[in-house]
Structure 1
Amino acid sequence: MSRSKKSRSGGSLAARKEADFKSKRKVAVQKASIGKGKPSGNRQQEAQTSQQQQQSNVVVDKRIGSKKPIALVTPNSQKAAVAPPKKPKPKAKVLSPEQELELLENNTRLANLLDESDAGQELNDVDQQWLDKQLARHQQLMEQLGLIETDDEPEARNDEDRLWSSLNSGSLDQYKD
């Protein structure tokens, strides 16, 4: 029993293959899979895109930088020298009259100048003006706080004192009828 070998060649029984069979075959269109999750390598892509967005969202103002003033006019013009901008002076704190009087009385310069003027030394013009100004302010504060009497009040008291002294002197004869 010998069997004959089967040949694998198609021979005349098989369908004939054409050379361009692939071009005639329909290519299956791949559709995007829906609901299958994110594609591979997505974590790295998201990190890179978020960094790029952060960098692109930051607006850099090119004007910010040196605070050095820049001359806006040409050197040939009359206004070549640019003055630096003036800084606003800090507002002085408003002190109560008691606090201001205390500061004046504790001022060492004022005390030294008063000592010099009492000793008979002559002060220069600037010091004398400053001393006069401080003494005038001291006088105002004392009157404002009622620590000294104004000019009108002593005369009124002197009149009253004269009347009382005349009554107490015992010479009431002039008031008799």
Structure 2
Amino acid sequence: MARQKKSRKVGKIGVAKTSSNVRKPTEKRVKKHLGKPAGSRNSEALTDSQGPKKVVKDPRHGSKKPVSLIVESSEHRTVSKKIKYFSPSQELAAIEQDPRLASLLNKIEQGKKIAREDQQYVDHTLARHKVLCDLLGISNDDENHDVSTKQEVDLFSQFESIDINDFKD
């Protein structure tokens, strides 16, 4: 047998291709998937909505509590504390010894302007002071002193002007 030179041309070697053996380029083999695809955390919400209606769960972990971006001053936080008193006299004593009220009243007497919240605090506290004084029967000495001296003088003059013989039978 004679020797043949190698060539790059392929002849009919093996089985001839028929239309039934040839795969179409549009058909692709289905691959087996192992694990979840990339980005599965963000796409879970989409896959849940395609199926039956379920509550969409937030895929993010951690606290969902809103965080305040504005810092609140510590002065306004102390106002919210409410102290209970056993008697009106204890509450009256606490109001009269309140250092915040005393400093605000000094500022008002000096003619300085105070904040709106501070003015509301002063008004509310003084109104409560007045109610407690009325409850306990305490009145201002300055106003009553002038009235009481006039009444005493009038009563004394009436007493002196009474004639005892009018009361005898």
For the superposition of Structure 1 and Structure 2, which TM-score range results when normalised by the shorter chain? 0.3 to 0.5
TM-score (normalizing by structure 1)? 0.36
TM-score (normalizing by structure 2)? 0.38
Larger Rg: 1
